[in-house]
Amino acid sequence: MEIIDTHTHLYLKQFDDDFEDTINRSLDKSISKFVFPSISSKYYDKMIECKKKYPKNIFLMLGLHPVYVDKNYLQELDFIKNEIDHNNFVAVGEIGLDKYWGTKFYKQQIEAFEIQIDLALEKNLPIIIHCRNAYEDVITILEKKKNKNLRGIFHCFTGSLEDAQRIINLDFSLGIGGVVTFKNGKIDQFLHKISLKNIVLETDSPYLAPVPYRGKRNESSYIIHVIEKLSEIYDLKTDQIIQQTSLNSHKIFNFDAQQI
């Protein structure tokens, strides 16, 4: 039974010394698909290089992360528009809004977010959303752009039950990772009220490692601890968690349509 990490940055420098070992540790635990979110063109070549090493296991998104929106954002968006038809991207992401790291370019973040949503709709691709301290703005934009093809994942969901329900009503799934294992994460208190059909697994490696690795470098193999916590929350066997979340991921990313 395959496990899918829908959001992992294994191409970052934190994995330069043991990238292949990291992949193999995951493969040994039946984690067989890794979806790499894009954050800026700076990492594009590295992502392609990783995919060439594991073409059947690694899948790529393309997008401009809100924290990387700066004075060059229009050039970055042009890069995305020019590359989107190459390399069989499975999603536009990670995109969205972030007030946590600063609001100097917040107006441009909104513009970049909307442009990339339109691109995803044009290409019939899901979007993967990064949202920090900006739930209301993100949801307002999604409600404005609502379309039968607008779908995707709210990556690293840390909101309230009400936020979750609004997101699900917009045909988005919740990306659940290490935060669900944190004592102060709070989402574990209401997640059982949300259908497992609306959940996908992620790690956000190298960030947000689950307990018992909290504070250390995260990696895709640690997704097992997220599965175990969800098994406890939903009172289901781990196999049932894996089966449903993998089915959800396949529906969103349409992996089978990718040419290998």
Which fold would CATH assign to domain 3-255? TIM Barrel (3.20.20)
pTM for this entry: 0.97
Q: Flag whether pLDDT at 102 surpasses 50.
A: yes
**pLDDT tens profile 202-237:** 999 999 999 999 999 999 999 999 999 999 999 999
- Phi/psi for 218 (5° steps) reads -85, 155
Domain boundaries, the chain: 3-255
**pLDDT tens profile 8-66:** 999 999 999 999 999 999 999 999 999 999 999 999 999 999 999 999 999 999 999 99
**pLDDT tens profile 187-205:** 999 999 999 999 999 999 9
Grade residue 252 by pLDDT with cuts at 50, 70 and 90: very high
3-state helix, strand, coil in the chain (%, to 5): 45, 15, 40
**DSSP state, residue 9:** -
Q: Is the peptide bond before 55 cis (omega within 30 degrees of 0)?
A: no
Distance set, CA 56 to CA 53, 187, 203, 231 (Å): 9, 33, 19, 28
Grade residue 258 by pLDDT with cuts at 50, 70 and 90: low
Grade residue 87 by pLDDT with cuts at 50, 70 and 90: confident
**pLDDT tens profile 111-169:** 999 999 999 999 999 999 999 999 999 999 999 999 999 999 999 999 999 999 999 99
At residue 260, the pLDDT reads 43
- For tokens 């959940």, name the residue: 199
| Six-digit token string for 18 | 């043991």
124 in the Ramachandran plot: left (φ > 0), alpha (ψ -120 to 50) or beta? left
At residue 257, the pLDDT reads 72
